Amino acid sequence: MSRDRYAVWAPHATRMELVFTDHEPGAVHDAADRWAVAAVAPMVPAGAGWWEPEAPVEERYASAGYGYRVDGEGPFPDPRSRSQPDTVHGPSRRVDADGFAWRDGDWSGRDLRGAVLYELHVGTFTDEGTLAAAAGKLEHLVALGVTHVELLPVNSFAGGHNWGYDGVGWYAVDASYGGPGAYRRFVDDCHAAGLAVIQDVVYNHLGPSGNYLPRFGPYLTERSTGWGSGLNLDGEDSDEVRRYILDNARMWFEEYHVDGLRLDAVHALQDTRAVHVLEELAAETDALSAALGRQLVLVAESDLNDPRLITPRAAPGRDGAGGYGLTGQWSDDFHHAVHVALTGETDGYYADFGPLSALSKVLNHGFFHDGSYSSFRGRHHGRPLGDQVPAEALVVFAQNHDQVGNRATGDRLTATLDEGQLAIAAALLLAGPFTPMLFMGEEWAASTPWQFFTAHREPDLARAVTEGRRREFERMAWGEDVPDPQAVQTLTDSTLRWDEAATGRHARLLELHRTLIRVRAERPELTDPDRATTRATVNKERQWVRMDRGVTGDGPGVVVLLAALGSEPWPVPEDVGGYRLLAGHGPDGPLTGIPADGSVPSHGFVLLSRG
């Protein structure tokens, strides 16, 4: 249904006014300043809780900042604003979505099969912290061999910088990153380089600052997600709240040409309706994909270990698998198993992953908790994947923004592991059966941490965040070491140092990642969707891990990974003694062949091939 460009949903309002300001973009930044109004246009009901201007808006206001007064209060920015140059507290600005000259008319998208994802945060990926600067690094990503660039949330937020997960302007690209024009140029440049773009979106909650949605309507519920109030997905007036999510997804696909969405923490979406909002989103995305002639993917972050998310939907009017039909989901179990196997850390949710057999179970079956008891949760958790789920539907990682950034000091594996152990992590990730994802800088063992940072302008909120962060880690005796999220230094310390990628072990591990990604692309056994063609075994006493890929019977696979995690070298087994070396790395650097003693060195691996 086509609506006026200034239409707004406010179902319980009795009076609505469209207001305009004559401020230049970027001139209003004080959250306490409700920006001066230069003109007012009355609005009238348009049905179903929507309001439209009573008369056509004069053309002279087409580029002016605007917002709404709701029952005399405000002005407040547009809930669907495409541009907020004065942060989420300031006036909204219109954007001409049709004015950009796209060059990607032949682009058809990319599937997850055979994909290698690369997760990055625009603000700390480069010193400049902009989309334009990030585009200048695309040559590096192409040379690395990744296929998809996954951006942490870029929607507008209240302060100068943050992770992006407490944003409130869901429809606006933050001005600090370059705004909507810079985002379009970034996606267009990615497609020209052969890279797909996945945008991380947060539909489960809104941030604590600048959330004016409740002023317009019943967008939120009283049910907490742990990060704030959840969205009203199943209560009265929830049809339009769901539409707010579905239309946002459509915006990214249609107006910004993104190839996929990563859906943050979908386990926090509280929806009791017969058709879950995720199933509705997947159905609309599939229909839009067919209409656009372009592959679109949806990848969920989920703590549920529930294969229903990635099981095909039932056809309308027919019995079927009955899943939500998402393309993929993150699997923390892979991360936990690899992390514990290499670091020996067994605190908190790592406790159940202490035995090395946890790693082989994850490699063989996808989920570790598949109905098993979770000591961290104090209950049984998850269910088996089942045969309908292809291997690439699980997106896995040895590091990501959460698993690094939610550590007290934001320390990467680089801080505790030697070169050989880091190489093993890369081999398990990139030679494994699932869709691998790298976290920015991981490919060269970046020395920079990635810490939790915010820039809240409200003193009480800033203080609460800082104190709350330290309390969170006091039980682990880390409270005094937790960096202040509000300190600019925390942001600076988390910014990548690109110059180190060409030196020492950084350069050697970068070359290893390039090699492993190239081998992954060349060897069909490594991207086989059939999970049954992977067989992983471990020797817990000697800390050896073997993973056979391309298994068709009882014999060895076509490609075999041997990793010696512990202090003992591993004599190459006889059944793969004649295989050739595809890649190998030890604590002192790359291996150019099987060592003279015929053993895999401790803290090392070899990737072998029959042909």
The C-alpha atoms of residue 8 and residue 12 are separated, in whole angstroms, by 12
Per-position DSSP letters for 454-474, written without gaps between them: ----SHHHHHHHHHHHHHHHH
Looking at 119, 264, 271, 352, which residue is catalytic?
264
264 is catalytic: yes
The C-alpha atoms of residue 447 and residue 453 are separated, in whole angstroms, by 18
The C-alpha atoms of residue 23 and residue 235 are separated, in whole angstroms, by 39
Q: For residues 230 and 242, is the Cβ–Cβ distance under 8 A?
A: no
Comparing C-alpha atoms, which of 303, 277, 265, 299 is closest to residue 165? 265
The C-alpha atoms of residue 113 and residue 530 are separated, in whole angstroms, by 11
Per-position DSSP letters for 514-559, written without gaps between them: HHHHHHHHH-GGGG-S-GGGEEEEEETTTTEEEEEES--SSS--SE
CA 146 to chain centre: 15
301 is catalytic: yes
Q: At 343, phi and psi to the nearest 5?
A: -105, -25
Burial 413-433 (b: 16+ CB within 10 A, else e): bbeebebbbbbbbbbbbbbbb
CA 27 to chain centre: 32
Burial 160-181 (b: 16+ CB within 10 A, else e): bbbbbbbbbbbbbbbbbbbbbb
Question: For the CA atoms of the chain, what is the radius of gyration?
Answer: 25
Looking at 166, 174, 188, 301, which residue is catalytic?
301
The C-alpha atoms of residue 268 and residue 309 are separated, in whole angstroms, by 14
Q: For residues 273 and 233, is the Cβ–Cβ distance under 8 A?
A: yes
Partners of 298 in the β-ladder:
261
∠ CA 53-21-156, nearest 5°, is 90
Long-range contacts of 56-63, Cβ-Cβ distance < 8 Å, separation of 24 or more: 57/6, 57/18, 61/20, 62/94, 63/93, 63/94
Q: For residues 337 and 321, is the Cβ–Cβ distance under 8 A?
A: no
The C-alpha atoms of residue 61 and residue 39 are separated, in whole angstroms, by 9
**C-alpha pair distances (Å), 204 with each of 120, 248, 416, 449, 605:** 21, 13, 34, 27, 41
Partners of 570 in the β-ladder:
600
Give the residue numbers annotated as catalytic, written as ranges.
Answer: 264, 301
